Amino acid sequence: MVFEHPGQPIPKGRARAFVQTKGRGAGKLGFYSPKDTKDEERALGERFRYELGRKGVRVPIDGNLALVAIFYRSDVREVDEDNLRKLVLDAATRAGVWHDDSQVTGGAVQVELDRERPRTLIALCPHDSSMIRTGRQKKAAKRLASARQATLDLDERPW
């Protein structure tokens, strides 16, 4: 599945800390995400759900996945590509696209310049990996491992 999310890609913002000053929680430390991060995660998550639904993909997706993201930015300001990727992963996780972002065991990230049309291009597909992440694939991996072991056992016979 490939889709485009319009707008300037923004990196995941660091959580902000605060000390509560009123009520029962007075004096306790709390954390919140910056508003632009939350807004972008919500919008991108909705886009994930829309595109998957349009293609008839049931969520949450089971198994290993590969994600490729190309971020077309309108300026040359330095951004950490890891934080751009993290926002995409968190948006999909919050939208229930997969069980956990640890299912993304392959992929690539690229940051490019497009002053006229900033956007994020995302490609998501199944990924064959020895790092099995969920349900059905674990069972298949066990069967494959058993078959490989049986083959090894045959090869070790002294005939």
Within the chain, strands assigned E span 2-6, 16-19, 29-32, 65-73, 104-113, 119-126
pLDDT at residue 76, as a whole number: 96
Q: In terms of C-beta density within 10 A (0-12 exposed, 13-18 middle, 19 or more buried), how is residue 55 classed?
A: exposed
- pLDDT class of 18 with cuts at 50, 70, 90: confident
CATH, range 2-128 = 3.30.1330.70
**Per-residue confidence at 16, pLDDT binned at 50, 70, 90?**
confident
Cα–Cα distance, 89 to 99 (Å, whole number): 11
Shortest CA distance to 97 belongs to which of 53, 155, 154?
53
Region 100-105: what's the mean pLDDT? 95
Q: Where are the domains of the chain?
A: 2-128
d(CA 88, CA 7): 14
- The pTM score is 0.78
Find tokens 């996945």 and name the residue: 65
